[in-house]
């Protein structure tokens, strides 16, 4: 099977996580960000992730991929309960975090930006929806303060470093990709339980953090 992704994409991380958690081999294919033909040939539209199955058929939607892979062997991993406080925390943070992340993603050394054209495509699309990246970067100090405050609140919600609620659940699939994205931001203060959870989930899922290219 092949999983077509963008490395920066949190939805793609969700799909990658289940393969790592279940120790299932998967061939990752990083598409150039301006490559519209590949996803359109596979599923008829430009989006990621896309899972191409052994029979050649393809399916999009990260959570559909997660459920498919988790149920394939009859031994599901994501059996834990959902904590509404985690859902609320994610909703709150997702209300502003892209203003912090997108300007940094646009400058980072991701494989989907291997050509100048692919990077330009991303910048133009995202700036059209969220605003000028240069202006957004001016607000970084305030946004970093906000995320630091919010991470301290998250710290109180983490039950175990190997599962946010004590047993692996959909909350882990939703939470870790955001924390992984935040490792791209220099200057964030990571509370101890959040940091332990972040690092443990990276190992469990076999998804690398972005600290080495933080800016």
* CATH code assigned at 147: 1.20.1050.10
- What is the span of the domain harbouring residue 60? 2-72
Residues 124 and 152 grouped into a single domain: yes
Whether residue 79 is contained in a domain is answered as: no
Tell me the pTM.
0.96
Residues 113 and 176 grouped into a single domain: yes
CATH at 20: 3.40.30.10
User: What pLDDT shows up at residue 29?
Assistant: 98
Q: What is the pLDDT of residues 87-145, one digit of tens each?
A: 999 999 999 999 999 999 999 999 999 999 999 999 999 999 999 999 999 999 999 99
Whether residue 208 is contained in a domain is answered as: yes
Domain final residue, candidates 72, 102, 119: 72
Sequence-separated (6 or more) residues with CB below 8 Å from residue 135: none
d(CA 181, CA 192): 18
Residues 64 and 131 grouped into a single domain: no
d(CA 120, CA 128): 12
């Amino acid at each position: 099977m092949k999983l077509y992704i963008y490395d920066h994409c949190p939805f793609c991380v969700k799909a990658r996580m289940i393969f790592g958690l279940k120790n299932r081999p998967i061939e990752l294919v990083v598409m150039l960000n301006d490559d519209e033909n590949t996803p359109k040939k596979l599923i008829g539209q430009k989006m990621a992730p896309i899972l191409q199955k052994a029979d050649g058929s393809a399916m999009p939607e990260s959570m559909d991929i997660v459920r498919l892979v988790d149920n394939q062997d009859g031994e599901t991993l994501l059996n834990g309960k959902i904590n509404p406080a985690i859902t609320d925390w994610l909703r709150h943070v997702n209300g502003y975090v892209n203003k912090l992340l997108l300007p940094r993603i646009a400058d980072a050394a991701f494989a989907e930006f291997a050509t100048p054209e692919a990077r330009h495509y991303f910048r133009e699309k995202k700036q059209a929806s969220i605003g000028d990246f240069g202006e957004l970067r001016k607000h970084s100090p305030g946004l970093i303060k906000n995320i630091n405050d919010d991470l301290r609140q998250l710290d109180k919600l983490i039950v175990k470093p190997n599962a946010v609620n004590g047993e692996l659940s959909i909350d882990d699939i939703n939470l870790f990709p955001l924390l992984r994205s935040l490792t791209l931001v220099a200057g964030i203060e990571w509370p101890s339980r959040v940091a332990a959870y972040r690092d443990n989930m990276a190992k469990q899922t076999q998804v690398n953090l972005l600290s080495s290219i933080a800016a």
